[in-house]
Every structure is written in structure tokens, then in C-alpha cells.
């Protein structure tokens, strides 16, 4: 009789105050090398442990996907580790320690976000790059390929300056410097905010219903999305099975709705 499966813990990573201590701590599952601790024997790290990373390098941002981790350093370099089944690390194989993504060496990055198995990053010029799983067009490349292990620029937003990016399980949002919100990827639960007739979008599409709202912040859950306006108003859309939109549960919302 086979042994019962052990519960899986999602990876968590913490950056301490960079003015005091640039160290990075991590905890959770190590099954795919997602904590960057190398080939340790522990399957789960239950107490925060300091990640092995050069002391002179300051980590300024971290994003965690499903069994993988991506970071940005103070000099704008991107490092990644963990599962790489869909090329989501930007490497040609999995990594058990954080390693720099060489294809991005020519750029300085400011923002990074991870979906289930896809990664998106914004450089200092507001250019958006994506890599990893593309099963539902979540890379925004207008391509039929199912995965990309080399980071590629999202050309559909080439004339825009992207200031924020957020990834859901298989979809994404981007905010530009002129306040426009673009969305792409899977829309099976209405998470794109484009109505229920669209099943997926292969390239960024403007959410026109938000055009008059000055947006300050964007965020994605697995199958739902949020924006916060500069006045503090919150809009949400997508799956609402468990009331995650803050409105009576059971009914999905296919367009941005004021909460």
C-alpha cells in the first residue's frame, strides 16, 4: 500500500528592510528548488531560513509562482529558481539556487510578477517582458506557441510605458503611465473584465470601461482582478465563488464593478 501523500506547502519569501538588512528569508516547500536553498534534504522548511545569496547583493522585489521564485536586485538584475516545466524561470532547465537570467542582462528591471507558470517583468523604460507558459495567451505575445523559455518583449504594448504588472493564474493586467489598463490571457471566469463572450485574449486589450478612472494600483488573484483608484475606490471582477470580490458570493462578475 502506498504511503499517503504529504501536504504541499507553497513557497514564501520575505525581504527585510533594505535600510537595515538586505538579507532574504524563505520558508515552505523545497520540492522543486523554489526556495533557492540548493539540494537540502528537508522537503518543507517550517521556520524562516536565510536564503543563500551574495551579501553584497540587495534584493528589492520578490514574486512567487507555483513552485518557483523570481527576484529583482538593487541593480535591476533578475534571478530565478525552482520549477521550470514551462520555461517560467527564463532558463533552459530548473534551478535549485537563484541564478541570474542572462537573456535580460541588457536591461534594468523595476517590477516583476508571477502567475501559475508564467512571469512578467517591467524594465526602467516601461517595456514589458514575458516568458513561461502560454497555454491561454497569458504572455500577451499574440502567439500560438504554448511556452517561451526566453523572455520576449510584449510588442503590443511597445508604444506604452508600463508602470505596473500583475499576474493571475493564467491572465495578467498592466497599468500604463497614462492610466490605461490592459488585460490578456484566460477569461474563463470573467477575470479579464471584457464580458462573457471573450474566452481568452492572446494580446493586451484595453479595458475601456475603466478609461475615465484614475488608477493607482492593480492586483490579480487566480481567477479575479482588482484595481484601486487614486481616490481609494475599489473595483473587482472575475470569479466570485467564495465571495472573493467582496459582493454576495456565487455569481461571477464579467465587467469591473465598484465594490
- Span 58-73, pLDDT tens digits: 899 999 999 999 999 9
Report the pLDDT value the prediction gives residue 23, as an integer from 0 to 100: 72
Q: Residue 164 above 80 pLDDT? A: yes
Under a CB-based contact definition with an 8 Å cutoff, are residues 70 and 112 in contact?
Answer: yes
The set of residues, in sequence order, having a beta carbon less than 8 Å from that of 41 and lying 6+ positions away, is: none
Q: Residue 8 above 80 pLDDT? A: no
High-pLDDT (> 70) share of the chain, %: 91
Q: Residue 10 above 90 pLDDT? A: no
Query: Exposure pattern of 203-236 as b/e (b: 16+ CB <10 Å)?
Result: bbbebebbeebebeebbbbbbbbbbebeeeeebb
Specify the pTM. 0.90
Secondary-structure class of domain 1-159 per CATH: mainly beta
Work out the mean pLDDT of the chain and round it to a whole number: 91
Count CA within 13 A, CB hemisphere, residue 79: 24
pLDDT in tens, 179-227: 999 999 999 999 999 999 889 999 999 999 999 999 999 999 999 999 9
Domain residue spans of the chain: 1-159, 176-259
pLDDT bucket at 111, cuts 50 / 70 / 90: very high
Amino acid at each position: 500500500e502506498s504511503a499517503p501523500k504529504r501536504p504541499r506547502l507553497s513557497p514564501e519569501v520575505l525581504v527585510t528592510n533594505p535600510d537595515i538588512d538586505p538579507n532574504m528569508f524563505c520558508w515552505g516547500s523545497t520540492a522543486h528548488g523554489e526556495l533557492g536553498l540548493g539540494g537540502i534534504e528537508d522537503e518543507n522548511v517550517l521556520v524562516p531560513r536565510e536564503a543563500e545569496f551574495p551579501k553584497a547583493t540587495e534584493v528589492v522585489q520578490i514574486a512567487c509562482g507555483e513552485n518557483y521564485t523570481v527576484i529583482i536586485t538593487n541593480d535591476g538584475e533578475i534571478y530565478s529558481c525552482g520549477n521550470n516545466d514551462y520555461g517560467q524561470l527564463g532558463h533552459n532547465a530548473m534551478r535549485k539556487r537563484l541564478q541570474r537570467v542572462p537573456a535580460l542582462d541588457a536591461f534594468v528591471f523595476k517590477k516583476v510578477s508571477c502567475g501559475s507558470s508564467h512571469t512578467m517583468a517591467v524594465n526602467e523604460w516601461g517595456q514589458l517582458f514575458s516568458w513561461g507558459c502560454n497555454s491561454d495567451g497569458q504572455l500577451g505575445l499574440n502567439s500560438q506557441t504554448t511556452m517561451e523559455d526566453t523572455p520576449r518583449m510584449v510588442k503590443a504594448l511597445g508604444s506604452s510605458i508600463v508602470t505596473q504588472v500583475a499576474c493571475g493564474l493564467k491572465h495578467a493586467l498592466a497599468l500604463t503611465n497614462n492610466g490605461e489598463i490592459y488585460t490578456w490571457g484566460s477569461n474563463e471566469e470573467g477575470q479579464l473584465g471584457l464580458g462573457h463572450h471573450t474566452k481568452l485574449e492572446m494580446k493586451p486589450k484595453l479595458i475601456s470601461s475603466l478609461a475615465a478612472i484614475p488608477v493607482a494600483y492593480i492586483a490579480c488573484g487566480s481567477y479575479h482582478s482588482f484595481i484601486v483608484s487614486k481616490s481609494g475606490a475599489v473595483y473587482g471582477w472575475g470569479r466570485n465563488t467564495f465571495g472573493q470580490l467582496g459582493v454576495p458570493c456565487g455569481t461571477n462578475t464579467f465587467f469591473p464593478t465598484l465594490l
